[in-house]
Amino acid sequence: MSSRIHPTAVVDRTAELAADVEVGPAAVVGPGVRIGEGTRVGAGAQLEGPTVLGPGNRVFPHACIGFEPQDLKFSGEETRLEVGARNTFREFCTVHRGTGKGGALTTIGDDNLFMVYTHVAHDCHVGNRTIFSNGGTLAGHVRVEDDAVIGAYSAVHQFCRVGRHAYIGGYSKIVQDPLPYAKSVGDKACFYGMNRIGLERKGMDAATLERIERALRIVVRGPRKLEEALQQVRTELGGHPEVDYLVDFVEGSERGVIRNLPLRRGRGQGD
């Protein structure tokens, strides 16, 4: 089946549209854009290149995908955006290409949901099956790993990493790396325990949940020196893929991980 392009849409002659692509009224598909089969581009949406969208994506009205980055160091060099399959970009979502000094590439995996007014900045790398709630924002050079959730109107500082299955609560300010499998919430983001509901929904068994919870408890509430806490996790719980990933994630953090505990009656904030 050939592409279905509304008469009022503008599609550059260098753009490549696969079979069954739909382009709605007043949408703009610019030069250097490649769109995989079955993708739908809504009314008034705009795509700029070099950008590649895989099959089965849905771009809702007035989303802007693949525009140049909001970085003063960007000087017009060729950079790219690569998007996988079956992603949903809701109204007024923005996703920007990379910068020459940041790797020249922004990437998004498969099966992600970007709700209204979300933003993915230059040189970010988003994994698979993530959810960005309304207004969730990534600064440049952020990595979001598989199955993470970015809460509504939360902002993630540049060069942070968001671990697998991490849950960031709404209106949070993230300036360090949120731990995998954990909830991080607040203007001064704190650790709020394991993301049990999210992990159960992903089908993790009870034994795995218990092991992850014990590992997180040691990392956050164990020895004050992080190196000692990680060694305890290795000794007591190592050899399990989820636990080993947690240890590797913490060891690889450049900005530090969120270990602060929320303020509670009779107790100050943690380290």
Q: For 57-82, give the DSSP string.
A: -EE-TT-EEEEPPS-TT--S---EEE
Q: How many CB atoms lie within 10 A of CB 209?
A: 16
Distance CA 47, CA 52 (A): 10
| Catalytic residue (choose from 36, 62, 98, 123) | 123
| Catalytic residue (choose from 62, 122, 125, 165) | 122
Give φ, ψ of 113 to 5 degrees. -120, 120
| Catalytic residue (choose from 30, 135, 140, 222) | 140
Distance CA 105, CA 270 (A): 37
Report residue 69 as tokens.
């980055």
Is 123 designated active site?
Answer: yes
Instruction: Tell whether the torsion through CA atoms of 121, 116, 187 and 193 is positive or negative.
Output: negative
Is 62 designated active site?
Answer: no
Facing residues of 94 across strands? 64, 119
Which helix (H) or strand (E) segment is 190 a member of? strand 190-194
Is 6 designated active site?
Answer: no
Residues with catalytic function: 122-123, 140
